[in-house]
Structure 1
Amino acid sequence: MATSLNSPATETTETDEAAGISAPSSSSTRWFILFLLALGVLISFIDRTSIGSAIADKGFVKEFGLSNVGRGWINSAFFWSYGIAQVPMGWLVDRYGVKRPYAIFFAMWCVICAVTGTITLLPVLFGARLLVGVAEAIVIPASYRWIRNNFDESRSGLAVGIFAMGNKFGPAIGAPAAAWLIYNYSWRAVFYAMCAVGVLWLASWVFLVRDDTPRPEERAAIAKRASGITLGGALRSPVVWGGMLTNFCYGYFTFYCMTWMPAYLVEKRGLSLAKSGVFTFFSFAGIAIMAAIAGWAADMLIARGKDPVLVRKGFVIAGFFGGCTVLLGSTASDLNTALFWNVTSLTLLGLATANNLALCRLTLIPKQAVGLVTGVQQVATSLAGGVSASLSGWLLAVSGSYDLPMKVIFVFLLIGAAGTWILLRPEWAPKINEN
C-alpha cells in the first residue's frame, strides 16, 4: 500500500475542519507535495513552449501551410479554452479537493498529447490545442488551493516562488528540449515525449498523495462556506479586478516569450533553432530563480514586521519596471546586446512573479475563496496568452517587424505597474457573507 504524503498536522483548527478545508500537512510532507505541484506545472508549461518551437520549424509550417497569422492562431488556441475553463475548475477544487480532479484532467492531457503526435490536418490540430487548454485548466486553481491550505503568510511568498519556478523552468527546459527533438526526430516526437513524462508524473501523484476528497457529510459545510462569496461578489471587488489586470499585463510578456521568442531569435536575430532554445532557457531560468529569491526576500521582510501588502506591492512594481528593459533588447543593433537584454528583461520581471501571485491570490483573498478567485484571475492570464500570441502574429504581419510587438509589451508592463499601486488595497478585498 502506498504511503500517504499529506497527513494532517496538529495545528488544524476546528473552524477549518468544519468548513471542510484540508488540514495542513506536516512540514516535510508539504514541501514534497509543493515540489510535486511545481513539477506538474513545469510539465504543463513545457507543452505551451513546445508549440512555440514547432511554429519556428520550417517543416511544421510547411506541413500545415501556416502564415504568420495562422501561426498566431495555433499558438493562441490553447489559451482560449484554458481561460473559459478556469472558473469551473476553481469551483471544482473548492468543493471536491485537489487530488482527484487534478489526476482526472492530467490523465486527459496525457492522452491528448499522444494523439497530437498523429495529427495531419490543421483543423484537428487546432481542436486538439483547445482540448489541451481545458485539461490544463485544473493546474493553477488546484495548486493555489493546496498552497493556501498548507502555508501561512510568512511562508507563502517562498512557497509560491518555488511553485512559480515550475511554470518558468517549463519554458526554460521545453524550448531547448523541443528544439533538440525537432532537429533530431520531428515535431511529432515532442508530443510523444511529453505524454511519456506526464504519465510518470501522474503515477507519482496518484500513488503518493493523500486523497482529500471530502466525505459526503462534509460537503454541505463546504458548500455553505464556499457560498459565502459568489462569482458576482468576487467581481465587485477592485482587488479581484486589479489581480486580473496585473495577471494580464504580466502574462502578456511571459506568454509572448513562450510562443514567439524562438521565432524572434531565429528570424530577427539569425540564430539557429537549437541556439534559440538555449537563450530561451536562460531567459526563463532567470525569471524562475529571481521569482524564488524575491518571494523569499519579501517573506523575510514580512516576518520582521513589515506590512505584507506594501512589501509585495513594492516587489511587483519593481518587476514590471524591470521588464520594460525589453525595449533595450528589441532596439539594439548589436546581437550580444540584444541577447543580454532579452534575458535580463524577463529575469527582472521575476521580482513580480511570486509576490504578485501571493498578493492577489493569497494575501488579499479569504481562504475559502482562493479557488474561485484564482480561477477568475486565471481567465485574465489565459486571455493574455491568447491575445499575446494572436495579436503579436498580426502585428508582425502588418508591420513586417518584431519591433511593434515589443512596444506593445512595454505599454502593458507600465499599465501593470499602475494597476498594482492603485487597485491592490486591503480595504477593497472580497468580502465574505457569514450568514
Structure 2
Amino acid sequence: MGHRRYWIFVFMFLLATINYVDRIVLSVSSTPIAQEFGIDKVQLGYLFSSFLWLYVVCLVPMGMIVDKLGTRTVNAAGIGLWSIATALTGLATGFGMLIGTRVLMGVGESTTYPASGRVIREWIPLKERALFAAIFNGGAYFGPAIGGLVLAWLVSAVGWRTTFLICAAIGFVWLLAWMIWFRKPEEVSWLTDEERAFILRERNGSAKNTAPDGHSIGLRGLLSSSSMLGLMVTQGCAVYTQYFFLTWLPNYLQTERGMSLLKSGALMSLPFLGAVVLTVLLGKLSDSLLTEESARAGGRRRLGALLLLMGSVILLTPLVENVYLILVLITLALGGVASAVALNIAMIGDLLRTPADSGRATGLLILGGNIFGILAPIVTGYVVQSTGSFNMAFVVAGALLAFGALTVFLVVRTPIGPSESDATLSVRTA
C-alpha cells in the first residue's frame, strides 16, 4: 500500500516546529532585549503574553474559515503573516513596536491548530490519529528544544535582531514547499491509488458513527457538549504549564540559577527534547491500546489523566536545590503535558460526530488552552516580582495539572454532536 501519507506528518510537524521557534525566540532573547529597552519583569510578562491577545480571539473564527476554505489556503496565509511579523520584530524600535509585532504574529499563528484538526479528518486513518497528533504537537516542543540550542548561539553570535530575521526566512521556505505539494488526498498526484483508497476508507472509522460531512452543529452545538467543555478546561490546565516553561524557563535559569545565555539555552533544550520523545511514544501506545469503539467512547481520557498527574511532579520543584534534578522534574512535566495535549487533539477526532466542524472544534479546544496560556506569563511575572522567587509559580502550575487530570477523567465521556440518525433530524445552525 505504501506510506506516502506520512509526508503529511512531516509537513505538520515542521509547521508546529516553526510556529514555536518563532515564539521561543523572544524568550531566548529576553535578557538582551530587556537591557536594550529597559524592560522590567512585569513588562516582560506582558510582552511574553502579547502574541496570545489576538491569538485566542482568532482561534474559533480561524477554525470556521478552515472549514470553509480548507487547510491549504489558511495555513499558507497564516505562516506568511506570522513570518512577516517575526521579521518586523527584529526591526523593532521600542517596547510598543515589540508588543504590536507580537500581537500580529498571534493572528497568523492562530491558523495552525484549527488547520491540524481538519488535516486529521481529511488525511489520517482513525487508528493513526494519536500518533499524528503526537508528532504534530511534538513540534511544539521540538521548536523550543532547537530554540534553546541554536537560537541562543545565534543571539550570541549575530545579535537578537538578525536572529528574528533568520526565523522569518525559514517560515517562507516552508510556505513555498506547502504550496507546491499539499492538497487533499483526493487531489494530490503523489499518492498511489491504493493508499488514496485506504485513506478515504479509513479516515472516518465506521460510517455509522459519523454524521454526514456536510452537516454542522455549529458553535452552540459544540459548546452544549460536556465533553467539549471538559476538553477545553483540561487543555487550559496543560497549556498554562507549557507557556510557563516556554516563556519563563530561560529567564529562570539565567536570573535565579545564574547561568549564561548559552548554558541556559542548552539546558532548556533538554526537557523539550525529552517531551518530544515521550509524546511520540505515548501517542503510539494510545493508538495500539484502543479499539475504534473505546476511542469513540473517550477511552483516551484515562491515559490523559495519568499524564497530567505525572506532570504535577513540578510541585516538588521548590523542595529541590540541584538544578539537574529540577530539569528532570521539568522534563517529566513537559512530557506529560505534551502527551496530554496531543491526546486532547486526538480525542476531538474520536468524539466529534460531525466532520464539518473539525476546524472550529479544534479552534475551541485551543481557545480553552490559550485562555489559560495568556495568564501564565503575566501571573508568573507578578508572582516572581512580588515574592522574589519562582517557587510559587511552580506550585500554581502543578496544582492546575492535578485539576486538569480530574477534569478529563470525570467529564470527557460522551460523543460531541449527534449520530448519523440524529443528524438527519437536526437543523443546520452554522
TM range (shorter): 0.7 to 0.9
Contact 1:100 1:211 in 2 (8 A): no
Matched, 1:30 2:5: yes
Cα distance in 2 between the residues matched to 1:356 and 1:340: 24
Aligned to 1:71: 44
Q: Distance in 1 between matches of 2:292 and 2:215?
A: 35
Amino acid at match of 1:45: Y
Alignment partner, residue 274 of structure 1: 262
2:166 maps to amino acid: A
Aligned residues: 397
Shift of 1:111: 1.6
Secondary structure at the residue paired with 2:50?
helix
Check the 8 A contact 1:283/1:346 in 2, yes or no.
yes
2 CA distance for matches of 1:305 and 1:369? 21
For the structure 1 residues 212 and 63, does the alpha-carbon distance in structure 2 shift closer, same or farther, using more than 3 Å as the test?
Answer: farther
Q: Does 1:60 align with 2:33?
A: yes
1:341-394, Cα deviation, whole Å (9 max, x unpaired): 2223322434423222211x2111122211111111111222222110111111
1:292 to 264, 276, 280: 280
Unaligned runs of 5+ in 1: 1-25, 215-223
Residue 209 of structure 1 pairs with residue 196 of structure 2:
no
* Aligned residue among 83, 86, 100 for 1:110: 83
Q: Check conservation: 1:298, 1:311, Cα contact below 8 A.
A: no
Per-residue CA deviations over 1:239-288 (Å, capped at 9, x if unaligned) read 11111101100100111110001011111222222122122211111111
AA aligned opposite 1:333: E
In structure 2, what is the equivalent of residue 364 of structure 1? 351
**Do the aligned partners of residues 162 and 397 (structure 1) sit closer, same or farther apart at CA in structure 2, a change above 3 Å counting?**
same
- Residue 138, structure 1, aligned to residue 125, structure 2: no
Partner of 1:19: none
Distance across 2 between alignment mates of 1:279 and 1:27: 39
Amino acid at match of 1:124: M
CA change 1:118–1:318 in 2 (3 A) is same
Instruction: Please give the secondary structure, in 2, of the residue aligned with 1:299.
Output: helix
SS in 1 for 2:83: helix
State the alpha-carbon separation in 1 of the partners of residues 136 and 356 from structure 2.
Answer: 21
SS of 1:228's partner is coil
Instruction: Give the alignment's TM-score, normalised by structure 2.
Output: 0.87
The residue number in structure 2 matching 1:319 is 307
SS of 1:28's partner is coil
Match of 2:165 in 1: 192
1:433, CA displacement in angstroms? Answer: 4.2
SS in 2 for 1:271: coil
1:218 equivalent in structure 2: none
CA contact (8 A) 2:298 2:413 kept: no
Amino acid at match of 1:277: G
Structure 1 contact 175–281 (Cα < 8 Å) conserved: yes
- Could you tell me which amino acid in structure 2 is paired with residue 341 of structure 1? L
Aligned pair partner of 1:231 in 212, 219, 238: 219
Measured after TM superposition, the shift of residue 212 of structure 1 is 8.5
Tell me the distance in 1 between the aligned counterparts of 2:376 and 2:82.
23
Q: Partners in 1 of 2:167 and 2:173 — Cα distance?
A: 10
Aligned to 1:403: 391
Q: Provide the C-alpha distance between the structure 2 equivalents of 1:253 and 1:159, rounded to a whole number of angstroms.
A: 22
In structure 2, what is the Cα distance between the partners aligned to 1:28 and 1:422?
37
* Preserved contact between residue 94 and residue 372 of structure 1 (Cα < 8 Å): yes
Q: Which residue of 2 aligns with 1:47?
A: 22
Change over 3 Å in CA distance of 1:101–1:348 after alignment to 2: closer
Secondary structure, aligned partner of 2:216? coil
Please state whether the residue corresponding to 1:417 is helix, strand or coil. helix
Structure 1 residue identity aligned to 2:18: I
CA distance in 2, matches of 1:278, 1:250: 24
Identity of aligned residues (%): 28
Counterpart Cα distance in 2 of 1:225 and 1:342: 42
Q: Please identify, of 111-120 and 340-349, the stretch whose mean Cα deviation from structure 2 is larger.
A: 340-349
**Alignment partner of 1:426: what SS?**
coil
The answer to whether the Cα contact below 8 Å between 1:119 and 1:125 also exists between their aligned partners in 2 is yes
TM-superposed deviation, 1:327? 2.3
- Return closer, same or farther for 1:309/1:169 CA change in 2, 3 Å cut-off: farther
1:305–1:123 CA distance, 2 compared to 1 (3 A): closer
Residue of structure 1 aligned with 2:55, choices 82, 89, 97 = 82
Q: Does 1:160 align with 2:133?
A: yes
CA contact (8 A) 2:271 2:327 kept: no
Task: Give the residue type in structure 2 aligned to 1:165.
Answer: G
Contact 1:98 1:212 in 2 (8 A): no
Q: Counterpart in 2 of 1:22?
A: none
Looking at structure 1, the residues matched to 88 and 339 of structure 2 have their Cα atoms a distance apart, in angstroms, of 38
| 1:98 aligned residue | 71
Task: Give, in whole Å, the separation in 2 of the partners of 1:396 and 1:416.
Answer: 24
Aligned to 1:330: 318
Q: Residues of 1 paired with 2:339 and 2:16: CA distance? A: 20
Cα distance in 2 for partners of 1:356, 1:225 equals 22
Question: Structure 2: how far apart are the matches of 1:391 and 1:304?
Answer: 41
Per-residue Cα deviation, 1:322-357 (whole angstroms, up to 9, x for no partner): 111112233212233223222233224344232222
What letter corresponds to residue 246 of structure 1 in structure 2? Answer: T
State TM-score, norm by structure 1: 0.86
Does the 8 Å contact 1:90/1:375 carry over to 2?
A: yes
Q: Find the partner of 1:240 among 228, 234, 241.
A: 228
Output the aligned Cα RMSD: 2.1
What runs of 5+ residues in structure 2 fail to find an aligned partner?
A: 188-211
| Higher mean displacement: 107-116 or 313-322 | 107-116
CA distance in 1, matches of 2:320, 2:9: 40
Provide the C-alpha distance between the structure 2 equivalents of 1:350 and 1:100, rounded to a whole number of angstroms.
27
What is the letter of the counterpart of residue 42 of structure 2?
V
- Distance in 1 of aligned mates of 2:141 and 2:2: 25
Cα pair distance change 1:420/1:185, threshold 3 Å:
same
